[in-house]
Chain A
Amino acid sequence: MRAVRFSVVTAAATVAALTAVTGCAEKSDGKGEGAVQVVAKDDSCEVSKTKLPAGHIELAVQNKGSKVTEVYVLFPDDRIVAERENIGPGTKATITAEIKAGSYEIACKPGMKGHGIRQKIEVSGGKVAKRSPEMDKAVAAYRTYVQAQADETLPKVKVFTDAVAAGDIEAAKKAYADSRIGWERTEPVAESFGDIDPKVDVREDGLEDGQKWTGWHRLEKALWQDKKLGAEEKALAPTLYKDLLDWQKRVGTAEITPTSMANGAKELLDEVATGKVTGEEERYSHTDLVDFKANVEGAEKSYELLKPIATKNDAALTSSLDKQFAALNTLLDKYRTDKNSYVFTSYEKVGKADRKELSDAVNALAEPLSRLAAAVTK
């Protein structure tokens, strides 16, 4: 999991990738001709055009305010089409996106916080991106996988949340890591719903001012650190279940494309590299290796589905990926007693040198994996 801001980045990257695939015929020339001008100030967000033709759009953003800002193109349900962070006062930035007909909002967030200042835009007509049947097949299979992961996860979440609600610490501890596997396998998709992730998977240090801490890690801390389940924790359990039920219902509507699958796979490894390898993710339960494995499995699933396409374009890349996935899985197997179980060594007990070895293996896989999206779209 990540802090809210990071989940936003993930979603944006996912959609940016979508952009690239659908618009692969027309490269942005970056000159900003015909671009929608967005002037961001501390208290306003002026958009030069609110009616646009579908297809490739470009936003030329100018921050005339005094605060660092970020600008989003959002679906009506707040899903992110494209975004740009860290636009400093007095600087310019360009955001490009491939947009289908429909209603959208452009949001400026001065100070990079809150709901932002929003402006509705309407997109009409335009062309529909063409995709090869094998790409459609890969996307459909991945969509099925993502849904299945959510479907299988909910009963496991129920075991966990029921135990918490009942105050059964031991049973809750036992069910904790397992209840997260499906989420971790499909994290880039799960995180694309910007409103669910901060409720279920935020860590204490990722909270924004005034945000109430809920979700898995809140309960993780209660179970392993505080070692008690009070009325508040017990009440949070059904909330977690409800929020994840929301995920299960909405996951089917996620935008998925071949490049978002490829970049999603890479992002799963990035998750491992920044959160799991350091032991930061599961700092109380030390079940990081379970998340680690789930992230790798999710990445591998995306990769397997894309492999027939990628191999045609870059056989050297897929052979290197095959090798590195196998090497990382072999390494992970060292930390569990049996290949089919998800009982892994507590990360607390993994020494510095072993963590370095895991980190090197993650880098060895993530680096070529970062080139998968290009191999898919060539």
Chain B
Amino acid sequence: MSEQNRQTSDDETPAGAPSRRALLGWGGAGLALGAVAAGGAVAAVGSGDTPVTAADSGAAVPFHGAHQAGIATAVQDRLHFAAFDVTTKDRAELVALLKEWTRAAERMTAGHAVGDGAYGGLAEAPPDDTGEALGLKPSRLTLTIGFGPSLFAKGRFGLEDRRPDALVELPKFPGDNLDKARSGGDLCVQACADDPQVAVHAIRNLARIGMGRTAIRWSQLGFGKTSSTTPDAQTPRNMMGFKDGTRNISGTDTAALDQHVWVGEKDKGGWMTGGSYLVARRIRMHIETWDRTGLQEQEDVFGRDKGEGAPVGRAKERDEPFLKAMLPSAHVRLAHPDTNDGATILRRGYSFTDGTDGLGRLDAGLFFLAYQRDTRTAFVPLQRRLAAHDALNEYIQHVGSAHFAVPPGVRDKDDWWGRALFS
């Protein structure tokens, strides 16, 4: 069967880009560096002190590593996020599925077609790969898996004793208007890529492989990342026109990542060591009312100006915010770690627009994705504060919600998503 590469092979890497082999060769520590390079920054590589220029956005992000890609690695432009129900009752089948998914993810993130490819096989059978990503580059595709609380329910897969304490049921926050059909899930897969077709292809193939064992519960497409893990790059704007993610954790700041994002040995993390906790919230924006709000009020609501993104009373976007100069209900003030006993999350959200809602209103907003070391001390208190006081609440509503334990990375070709959990 023909090996259908979407990617130029290692030997044909375009000049100036780090080859995939080189990226892989850096090992665990190099993972973050590689991501930065791919993200458009210039980084000096520890191994040879050779400056590596920016890779084009079509490059491949290494799949293997201590942590899953798609968390601290540079944020791509597009998202397809899917939450799955596990429909099989058989633990062995679930394990087999996770292994199959891992192998497919390895191939797709490297830019290869799944299985025997999209053509050239038996004429009377459907091809292994759906084919819409043929000819496209890997596009920095990352696939990140998470396990929802419901997977650990008693009597399902014998995992009730392995449910991490931090994988709580999220409390109901004031103002939530959650749609069950857009919430929860036993498993999730976050597919991020610079090309939406590549991200959709990945979820579609995983969904297909999963049929009979899993079924998609809900999914969300996202565009226009609303935060960045490469703070040197220009800060993206959200659907409200404001820069979002100015103070996000940098993908290269290993100290901050260890402190706020990765589950550590000290956390009695067990199988979750090296993993993280993901909160996904579909936040609908009342776009039309926002758009007829005065500029002053818009800026007051956020606590930053709209053009530069500077905090109130400051000149530049990255100037240290003076929180007390902001209104007590300002979003930035309420969300800032200083207001929250240092609670810090890594944001990775995307804008979404799912057409209109039948009333002629844009069904749009922010698909909020946040990673943290312990949701109980990060997202939960933060969101409690925001839900109670944030001036932004007048213009937004949380309509979907899910929480997942995101296991550590797949180390090598023999490892698989969730091995530590199931063994």
Interface residues of A in 13-41 (CB under 8 A from B): 16-17, 19-21, 27-28
B48 interface residue per 8 A CB criterion:
no
CB-nearest residue of chain A relative to B128?
A: A371
Shortest CB distance B4–A (Å) = 15
Q: A20-B123, A363-B215, A377-B124 are in contact. List 19 more A-B contacts (CB 8 A).
A: A16-B124, A17-B124, A27-B123, A262-B124, A320-B212, A324-B212, A360-B85, A363-B211, A363-B212, A364-B87, A364-B211, A365-B212, A366-B211, A367-B208, A370-B125, A371-B125, A373-B124, A373-B125, A374-B122
- Please report the total number of A residues contacting B with Cβ < 8 Å: 25
Residues of chain A lying within 8 A (CB to CB) of residue B211? 363-364, 366-367
How many pairs, one residue from A and one from B, have CB atoms within 8 Å of each other in the complex? 45
Q: List 16 A-B contacts (CB under 8 A).
A: A16-B123, A16-B124, A17-B124, A21-B124, A262-B124, A324-B212, A360-B215, A363-B212, A363-B215, A364-B213, A365-B212, A367-B208, A367-B211, A371-B126, A373-B124, A374-B124
Residues of chain B lying within 8 A (CB to CB) of residue A365? 212
Residues of chain A lying within 8 A (CB to CB) of residue B212? 320, 324, 363-365, 367-368
A259 interface residue per 8 A CB criterion:
yes
Interface majority SS (helix, strand, loop, mixed), chain B = loop
CB 8 Å contact bits of A344-376 with B (1 = contact, 0 = none):
000000000000100010011111101101100
CB 8 Å contact bits of B208-227 with A (1 = contact, 0 = none):
10011101000000000000
Instruction: List 7 tightest A-B contacts by C-beta distance, closest first.
Output: A374-B125, A364-B212, A360-B215, A373-B124, A20-B124, A367-B211, A20-B123
Instruction: Report how far A263 CA is from B122 CA in the complex, Å.
Output: 13
Shortest CB distance B93–A (Å) = 10
Shortest CB distance B85–A (Å) = 8
CB 8 Å contact bits of A54-76 with B (1 = contact, 0 = none):
00000000000000000000000
Instruction: Report how far A371 CA is from B116 CA in the complex, Å.
Output: 14
Shortest CB distance B120–A (Å) = 9
Shortest CB distance A59–B (Å) = 16
CB-nearest residue of chain B relative to A368?
A: B212
Shortest CB distance A326–B (Å) = 12
Shortest CB distance A129–B (Å) = 14
Residues of chain B lying within 8 A (CB to CB) of residue A368? 212
Shortest CB distance B110–A (Å) = 25
Instruction: Report how far A262 CA is from B208 CA in the complex, Å.
Output: 20
Instruction: Report how far A45 CA is from B213 CA in the complex, Å.
Output: 49
Residues of chain B lying within 8 A (CB to CB) of residue A374? 122, 124-125
Shortest CB distance A84–B (Å) = 14
Shortest CB distance A228–B (Å) = 34
A364-B87, A367-B208 known; A263+B124 contact, CB < 8 A: yes
Residues of chain A lying within 8 A (CB to CB) of residue B215? 356, 360, 363-364
CB 8 Å contact bits of A299-330 with B (1 = contact, 0 = none):
00000000000000000000010001000000
The answer to whether A377 and B87 have CB atoms under 8 Å apart is: no
CB-nearest residue of chain B relative to A324?
A: B212
Shortest CB distance B131–A (Å) = 15
Residues of chain B lying within 8 A (CB to CB) of residue A377? 122, 124
Residues of chain A lying within 8 A (CB to CB) of residue B87? 360, 364
CB 8 Å contact bits of B100-123 with A (1 = contact, 0 = none):
000000000000000000000011
Most buried by A among B124, B125, B213: B124
CB-nearest residue of chain A relative to B119?
A: A30
